[in-house]
Amino acid sequence: MIEKSYDVVIVGSGAGGGTVASALAPLCRDGVTVLVLEQGARLDDHEFSGREQDMADVLYEDGGGFLTADGTMTLAFGRAYGGSTVVYTGTSLVAPERVIRAWDVPGLDYSDIVRRSRVYAEQNNVHLLAADLLNDNNRLFVQGCAEAGYHAEQFPLNVRGCKGSSLCNLGCPNAAKQGTHRVQLPSAKRQGVEVVTRAAVRRVEDRAVIVEVTPKADGQKGRPSEWAPGTYRIKAKAIVVAGGAVGSPALLLRSGLGLRLPKLGAGFTCHPAHILVGEHPDPITNDVGHPKSFFVDRAAQEGFVLETCMYFPFTTAKNLTGFGPAHSALMRAFPQLQMILVLACDKAVPHNRVTVDREGRPVVRYRFTRATIEAMVRATRASAKIFFAAGAVRVHAPSADPPVIERKDRHRVDELIDTRHFRPGKVSVSAAHLMGGCGMGRSAEDSVTDSWGRVHGLPWLRVADASLFPDSLEINPYLTIMGLADRVAEGLRTEAKTLLGAR
């Protein structure tokens, strides 16, 4: 085993790890050594081909099809230099005040989250897309919302020079999306932070991590690792875990911290989502233009959020319920499809949590609560009304049986779409907003960390990602992750003298 030593080791390079890296980078001037370990690969710009399977295989864990333990939901999360910020759509919203207040984390003030989120929104060039860059898929959503009585809002996006490839979820082929791989990590590297890719952290020990660096296989995308393949033991004065809401709790659990932290892995939420489609009589622009430009926020009132979206052929096929001729007919109508992503604002409940199997691999145990199913059904009904109001001739609704509703039945959507048709294991449910597992709180009895991401009882160990959320955020999470990660970095900077021995 090769031994190395750094002052700070950051596990993960996404919205959490990338932010901590850039916020700690100024310490490098004072001789502090900072290392970022990323288990995914670093791709060169020309490797973002936009081809669905090629990109999903290299950028997502399990190709984007990571299954929950009972196989009823797939979780999509990134595994690349930049983490999930490489594959999200760049939607940048500040956390809702009511949610942060309801979290009731001592020492976590809403105004602090807002202030930090704004810093990163500015850094990432967050703005509203110009109207001439919006496609029909988005315009029809706005039009349908207006006619059906819903208030559509435009998403602020973190893009620079967006060409409208529509391929955001496969990694922007035009380097337009301002994820940590474009902004925070390059900045950190310029200041002296070291980043090592293809480096999977197997476990955390007392002020050390055990890391497996893997070689690049023939034909694989991405650069080889910066280090030679092998097993490393890296000593560190401080360790920041930012492997995401599945990766972070799993790492700490397989490191044997479950006994001293009984809430480790608990409080997992994920905004379970359906992809709904409405078929229009004529082709629309859907596979060109930014895919996710508008949303409807009904979280506070009805427990759901609707967002425009546009997915790729396999992802679309997978998310339509059923198979055979009816399914094929919808797929053949691809150029006429309008899409809406419905997200349920699920709540942290005891039975939904991250665990590990005997080999230490993450296992996500998740069962849909009655409230979540009802929220998804309400969201599906709302979407069906929006589709029809926008002129769709038929709508695919997973919680209807049969799942296709014709225009002539548009006045019966409340009756046809019903919780009794939401059958886990039959309907496709996916989630990409993974949260919780290392929740913030008061003590080890109710949480894993304090409001600065300090793991209770282990001041050298911090958490800085969406796993900190004690409950669902009820909106796209990445700016909030950056805000919290910035706090974690500030905590480390404040304690640099005592913790790191910095000058």
Partner 1 sequence: MCQERLGRRARERHAHLAPRPCSPQLTAVPLTRAIEPVPHPVLPPVQRPFRAIALTVVPEAARLSDRGWEELERLVEHRLATQPAKTRRQVRFFIRVLQWLPLLRFGRTFTGLDATRRRRVLQAVGDAPVLLLRRGVWGLRVLVQLGYYAQPHVAAEIGYLADPRGWEARR
Residue showing tokens 């409001």? 451
φ, ψ of residue 91 to 5 degrees: the values are -65, 130
Interface mask toward partner 1 for 404-433; x: CB under 8 A: -------------------xxxx-x-----
What is the phi/psi pair of residue 189, to 5°?
-65, -40
Dihedral angle over CA of 26, 27, 28, 29, nearest 10: 80
In the complex, minimum distance from the CB of residue 360 to partner 1, in angstroms, rounded to a whole number: 13
The values of phi and psi at residue 296, to 5°, are -125, 125
Cβ closest to partner 1, residue 88 vs residue 368: 368
| Contact pattern for partner 1 over residues 227 through 246, marking x by CB under 8 A | --------------------
Q: How far is the CB of 373 from partner 1 (least distance, A)?
A: 15
How far apart are CB 188 and partner 1 at their closest, in Å? 28
Q: Residue 457 phi/psi, 5° resolution?
A: 85, -5
Q: Which of 269, 459, 448 is nearest to 365 (CA)?
A: 269
Q: Is the distance from CB of 166 to CB of 289 less than 8 angstroms?
A: yes
Of residues 9-68, those binding partner 1 (CB under 8 A): 48-54, 57, 62-63, 65
311 SS3 class: coil
Cβ neighbours for 256, distance < 8 A, ≥ 6 positions apart = 203
Q: Which of 283, 360, 459, 501 binds partner 1 (CB under 8 A)?
A: 283
Q: Are 483 and 305 in contact (CB under 8 A)?
A: no
Does 133 sit near partner 1 (CB under 8 A)?
yes
CA distances from 334 to 324, 326, 429 (A): 16, 13, 20
- x/- site string to partner 1, residues 462 to 481, per CB under 8 A? --------------------
Q: By CB under 8 A, tell whether 223 contacts partner 1.
A: no
d(CA 403, CA 277): 11
Measured from the CB atom, the residue of 92 and 315 that comes closer to partner 1 is 315
HSE-up of residue 11 (Cα within 13 Å, Cβ side): 29
Helix or strand (DSSP H, E) at 371: helix 370-389
User: Cα separation of 233 and 470, whole Å?
Assistant: 31
In the complex, what is the shortest distance from the CB of residue 51 to partner 1, in angstroms, rounded to a whole number? 7
Q: Which of 259, 324, 408, 420 binds partner 1 (CB under 8 A)?
A: 324
Helix, strand or coil, per DSSP, at residue 205: strand
Of 324 and 350, CB closest to partner 1: 324
Name every residue whose Cβ is closer than 8 Å to that of residue 302 and which is 6 or more positions away in sequence. 375, 378, 379, 382
* Residue from 1, 217, 259, 408 binding partner 1 (CB under 8 A): 217
**For residues 105 and 427, which CB has a smaller minimum distance to partner 1 in the complex?**
427
In the complex, what is the shortest distance from the CB of residue 177 to partner 1, in angstroms, rounded to a whole number? 13
Does the protein bind partner 1 through residue 281 (CB under 8 A)?
no
Amino acid at residue number 175: A
**Which of the stretches 194-202, 280-288, 368-376, 435-443 binds partner 1 when contact is defined by CB under 8 A?**
280-288
Distance CA 443, CA 434 (A): 23
- With binding defined as CB under 8 A, does residue 372 bind partner 1? no
Residues 435-464 that bind partner 1 (CB under 8 A): none
The minimum distance between CB 1 and partner 1, in angstroms, equals 26
Q: Identify the sign of the CA torsion 242, 246, 252, 255.
A: negative
Q: Which two three-digit tokens encode residue 263?
A: 């809430």
3 binds partner 1 (CB under 8 A): no
- Beta carbon of residue 192, minimum distance to partner 1 (angstroms, whole number): 34
CA dist 43 and 57 (Å) reads 13
56-64 long-range contacts (CB < 8 A, ≥24 apart) are: 56/170, 58/220, 58/221, 58/222, 59/86, 59/87, 59/170, 59/171, 60/87, 61/246, 64/315
Angle at 123 between CA 297 and CA 497, to 5 degrees: 115
Residue with Cβ nearer partner 1 (63 or 186): 63
CB of residue 320 vs partner 1: minimum separation in angstroms? 9
Residue 166 near partner 1 by CB under 8 A: yes
Single residue of 1, 111, 219, 350 touching partner 1 by CB under 8 A:
219
Residue 72 binds to partner 1 (criterion: CB under 8 A): yes
Binding flags for partner 1, 246-265, as an x/- string (CB under 8 A): --------------------
Is 364 in a helix, a strand, or coil?
Answer: strand
Number of residues that bind partner 1 (CB under 8 A): 52
Smallest distance from the beta carbon of 170 to partner 1, in angstroms? 9
Residue 242 near residue 36, CB atoms below 8 Å? no
Binding mask 285-314 for partner 1 (x = CB under 8 A): x-xxx----------------------xxx
CB of 205 to partner 1, least distance (A): 26
Q: Could you give the string, one character per residue 326-365, with x where binding to partner 1 holds by CB under 8 A and - elsewhere?
A: -xx--xx-xx------------------------------
- List of residues contacting partner 1 (CB under 8 A): 48-54, 57, 62-63, 65, 70-72, 133, 162-167, 173-174, 217-220, 283, 285, 287-289, 312-314, 316-318, 323-325, 327-328, 331-332, 334-335, 423-426, 428
